[in-house]
C-alpha cells in the first residue's frame, strides 16, 4: 500500500516513518483488536501513515496505522465507498468488537488503525505495458467509476485538497520552487491553459466520486490485465474525466507515441462508461495539469530534502513527458481522443476559404508566406499549432520574443485590460512606476520615455526626435535594414525601398553596406567596404546628418548580427 498524498511520481522513494521504540505497535494492535498472531510483519512505503504487510500461516493482510490527527470521518467515508466496490479493491476487516477503525494509545500517543485485505498482483509500474494491457486499465477504471457514480458522500464531497485536479491551481503559489526557468514557464503555461480551457466548462462537466490517484503503483495486474486497485487516500468528488487525466500520465511515461497509448486507455474506459465530447476536448490540458501538480509537489519535497537524489531521478520521466506534451498539437490530441470514442474529428482546415476571403478583404501587397499557406489556430511558447494537427517550431515568425502566449505576458495583459485601458494624458500610477523600472536598465543620459504601440511608431518618433534635435534631414541607414511599415519608416528601410516594388533610395537616405554580408561572403574587401561607408557618410553629411539607424541584429537579412 502506498500513501498517494506523497506518491508524486513513478518510482519516487518515500521516507519511511521511523517507529523507533514503538516497533511493537503493529503486533499489539493485531493481537489486541483482531486476535491475529502474525508470522511475519513487513513495513511498506508510507509517509503520513504506517503501512505493514501482515502474514499469518494462511492469509495476508495490510495494516494501516494513522496519526491521531487523521480525519476519522474521512476514513469512515472512504470505508463506506470501498464496501460498495468488488473484491478487486481493499476491504476493511472488522476488529473483534466489530469496529472497522480502532483507536490505540501508546505512551500518551493516540493512533487509529484499520486492517485491509491484501490484493495479489504485479504493480503496473513494474511491467512493460502494451495496447492490450492499457485498454484493460481503462476498462477497469470505467467499470469502477460506473459504481462510484451512483454513490454520494457529504464528507468526501466537502473535501478540498491540492491533489484533487479540479483544485490544481492551489499549487500555483509553489511554482517558483522550480528553479529552471524554461521548466517553470512550461508549468505556468499549462496552468494558464487550465484557466482558459477547463474553468469555463466547470459547471458543465460531470462530477462523481473518483479514485483520483490511479498511478502505476496503485494498480495491480495479473496475466496481462489490470485486476485490482489500492490506496483510496486521494478519493475525491471531482470532474469524472479527471479519473483518466490522472491515470494516463503515469501509464504513458516513456512511450514513443503517448497519444496512441493514451487512446488505448480511453478506448477501454469508454466501453464501460461512455465519455462526453466536452470531456475529451479538455483532456489534453487536464493531463498536463496533473503532470504539473506532481512536479510542483515533488520539487517542494526536493527543496525540503536536497540530499535525496532519488527525487531528482524520479522526476525525469514526468519532465520528459511534459516537455514532449507541449510539442503535441492539442487539436491533434483532441481529434484522436474523439475518434477513439466514435465522435467526429475536430481537425479541419478552411484554407481555400480563408485564402479566398483574404483576397477579398485585403490588398495583394499583404503577402502570405509559403506557396502552400499554413492555417494556424493556436501557439504555445516556441511552438505553433496548425488546424490540420501539425506542430511547427517557430524560428521565423517576426522578430523572436519571449514565446507565444507566455504566461507572464498573458497574465499582465489580462489583468490590465480588466482594470484600465486609457491613453497617457491622464495620471495613472502604473505608467510612472513602469517608466521608473524601465529607465533603470538604460544609461543615465537616457532619462525620458515615450510609450508607443509598435516598432513602426517607435521608428517614426525616433526620426522626428533626431531631425528636431539636429535640424537636419539626412539619415544614414544599413543595407537590408527594416524599421517599420509607415511612410517614414519605409524611407529608412533598405529592405523595403531597395527591393522589388520599392521606390528606390530617397534623396535624404544614404545606405551603407552590411559588413556581415559583404565581408564574410568576400563580396568586398575590408578596405573597399570602409571606403563605401565613408562615401555614404560624406554624402549624408553634405546637407546635414540627422542620425544613423540600424538593427543590432538584422531580422529581414536572416537574423544577422552586425
Question: Using one digit for the tens of pLDDT, what is the confidence trace for 367-386?
Answer: 888 888 999 999 999 999 99
For the chain, first and last CA: distance in Å? 63
Confidence grade of residue 17 (pLDDT, cut at 50, 70, 90): very low
Q: Taken in order 211, 216, 217, 219, is the CA torsion positive or negative?
A: positive
The C-alpha cell at 318 is 514526468
**CA gap 345, 51 in Å, rounded:** 46
**CA gap 417, 411 in Å, rounded:** 10
At 11 the pLDDT is 31
Please give the backbone phi and psi of residue 259, each rounded to the nearest 5 degrees, phi first. Answer: -70, -40
Residues 6 or more apart whose CB falls under 8 angstroms from that of 234 comprise: 4, 5, 161, 163, 164, 211, 212, 213
Residues 6 or more apart whose CB falls under 8 angstroms from that of 181 comprise: none
Q: Are 74 and 160 in contact (CB under 8 A)?
A: no
Q: Where are the domains of the chain?
A: 4-340, 452-561
At 126 the pLDDT is 92
Angle of CA points 518, 521, 525, to nearest 5°: 55
At 47 the pLDDT is 58
Q: Are 394 and 382 in contact (CB under 8 A)?
A: yes
Give the mean model confidence (pLDDT) for residues 138-146.
98
Please give the backbone phi and psi of residue 76, each rounded to the nearest 5 degrees, phi first. Answer: -65, -40
* Architecture in CATH for domain 452-561: 3-Layer(aba) Sandwich (3.40)
Q: Are 109 and 68 in contact (CB under 8 A)?
A: yes
Angle of CA points 7, 146, 158, to nearest 5°: 60
Where does 4-340 sit in CATH, by number?
3.90.1200.10
By DSSP bridging, strand 92-93 and strand 50-55 are: unpaired
Q: For 54-111, what is each residue's pLDDT tens digit? A: 999 999 999 999 887 778 999 999 999 999 999 999 999 999 999 999 999 888 888 9
Q: Are 226 and 124 in contact (CB under 8 A)?
A: yes
Q: For 235-265, what is each residue's pLDDT tens digit? A: 999 999 999 999 999 999 999 999 999 999 9
Confidence grade of residue 12 (pLDDT, cut at 50, 70, 90): very low
| Residue 211 C-beta-side C-alpha neighbours within 13 Å | 29
At 151 the pLDDT is 96
Question: Exposed, middle or buried, 526 (CB in 10 Å: 0-12/13-18/19+)?
Answer: exposed
Q: Is the pLDDT of residue 366 over 90?
A: no
Give the mean model confidence (pLDDT) for residues 281-303.
95
Nearest Cα residue to 379 out of 405, 360, 400: 405
Radius of gyration of the chain (CA): 32
Nearest Cα residue to 366 out of 247, 493, 485, 202: 485
3-state secondary structure at position 79: helix
Quote the crossing angle between the two packed helices 277-304 and 330-340, to the nearest 10°.
120
Global pTM value = 0.87
Give the mean model confidence (pLDDT) for residues 546-553.
90
Share of the chain above pLDDT 90, in %: 69
Amino acid at each position: 500500500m502506498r500513501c498517494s498524498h506523497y506518491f508524486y511520481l513513478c518510482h519516487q522513494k518515500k521516507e519511511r516513518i521511523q517507529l523507533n521504540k514503538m516497533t511493537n505497535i503493529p503486533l499489539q494492535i493485531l493481537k489486541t483488536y483482531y486476535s491475529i498472531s502474525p508470522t511475519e510483519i513487513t513495513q511498506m512505503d508510507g509517509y503520513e501513515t504506517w503501512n505493514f504487510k501482515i502474514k499469518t500461516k494462511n492469509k495476508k493482510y495490510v495494516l494501516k496505522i494513522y496519526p491521531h490527527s487523521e480525519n476519522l470521518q474521512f476514513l469512515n467515508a472512504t470505508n463506506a465507498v470501498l464496501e460498495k466496490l468488488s473484491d478487486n479493491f481493499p476491504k476493511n476487516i472488522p476488529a473483534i468488537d466489530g469496529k472497522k477503525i480502532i483507536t490505540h494509545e501508546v505512551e500518551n500517543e493516540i493512533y487509529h488503525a484499520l486492517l485491509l485485505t491484501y490484493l495479489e498482483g504485479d504493480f503496473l509500474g513494474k511491467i512493460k505495458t502494451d495496447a492490450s494491457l492499457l485498454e484493460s486499465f481503462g476498462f477497469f477504471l470505467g467499470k469502477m467509476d460506473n459504481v462510484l457514480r451512483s454513490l454520494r458522500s457529504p464528507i468526501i464531497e466537502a473535501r478540498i485538497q491540492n491533489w484533487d485536479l479540479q483544485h490544481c491551481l492551489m499549487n500555483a503559489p509553489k511554482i517558483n520552487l522550480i528553479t529552471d526557468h524554461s521548466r517553470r514557464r512550461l508549468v505556468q503555461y499549462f496552468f494558464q491553459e487550465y484557466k482558459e480551457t477547463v474553468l469555463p466548462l466547470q459547471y458543465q462537466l460531470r462530477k462523481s466520486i473518483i479514485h483520483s490517484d490511479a498511478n502505476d503503483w496503485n494498480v495491480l495486474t495479473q496475466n496481462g490485465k489490470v485486476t485490482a486497485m489500492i490506496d483510496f487516500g486521494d478519493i475525491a468528488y471531482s470532474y469524472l474525466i479527471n479519473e483518466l487525466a490522472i491515470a494516463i500520465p503515469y501509464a504513458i511515461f516513456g512511450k514513443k507515441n503517448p497519444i496512441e497509448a493514451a487512446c488505448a486507455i480511453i478506448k477501454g474506459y469508454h466501453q464501460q462508461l461512455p465519455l462526453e465530447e466536452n470531456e475529451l476536448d479538455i483532456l489534453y490540458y487536464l493531463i498536463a495539469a496533473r503532470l504539473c501538480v506532481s512536479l510542483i509537489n515533488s520539487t517542494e519535497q526536493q527543496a525540503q530534502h536536497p540530499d535525496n537524489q532519488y527525487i531528482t531521478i524520479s522526476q525525469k520521466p514526468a519532465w520528459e513527458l511534459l516537455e514532449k506534451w507541449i510539442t503535441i498539437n492539442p487539436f491533434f490530441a483532441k481529434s484522436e481522443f474523439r475518434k477513439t470514442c466514435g465522435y467526429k474529428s475536430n481537425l479541419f482546415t478552411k484554407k481555400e476559404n480563408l485564402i479566398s476571403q483574404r483576397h477579398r478583404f485585403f490588398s495583394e501587397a499583404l503577402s502570405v508566406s509559403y506557396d502552400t499557406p499554413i492555417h494556424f489556430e493556436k501557439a504555445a511558447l516556441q511552438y505553433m499549432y496548425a488546424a490540420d494537427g501539425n506542430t511547427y517550431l517557430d524560428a521565423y515568425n517576426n522578430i523572436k520574443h519571449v514565446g507565444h502566449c507566455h504566461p507572464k505576458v498573458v497574465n499582465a495583459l489580462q489583468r490590465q485590460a480588466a482594470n484600465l485601458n486609457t491613453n497617457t494624458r491622464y495620471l495613472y500610477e502604473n505608467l510612472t512606476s513602469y517608466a521608473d523600472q524601465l529607465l533603470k536598465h538604460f544609461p543615465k543620459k537616457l532619462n525620458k520615455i515615450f510609450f508607443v504601440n509598435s516598432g513602426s511608431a517607435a521608428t517614426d518618433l525616433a526620426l522626428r526626435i533626431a531631425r528636431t534635435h539636429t535640424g537636419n534631414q539626412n539619415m544614414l541607414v544599413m543595407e537590408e535594414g527594416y524599421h517599420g511599415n509607415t511612410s517614414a519608416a519605409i524611407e529608412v528601410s533598405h529592405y523595403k525601398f531597395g527591393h522589388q516594388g520599392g521606390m528606390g533610395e530617397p534623396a535624404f537616405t544614404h545606405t551603407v553596406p552590411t559588413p556581415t554580408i559583404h565581408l564574410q561572403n568576400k563580396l568586398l574587401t575590408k578596405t573597399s567596404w570602409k571606403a563605401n561607408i565613408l562615401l555614404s557618410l560624406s554624402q549624408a553629411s553634405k546637407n546635414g546628418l540627422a542620425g544613423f539607424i540600424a538593427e543590432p541584429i538584422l531580422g529581414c537579412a536572416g537574423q544577422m548580427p552586425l
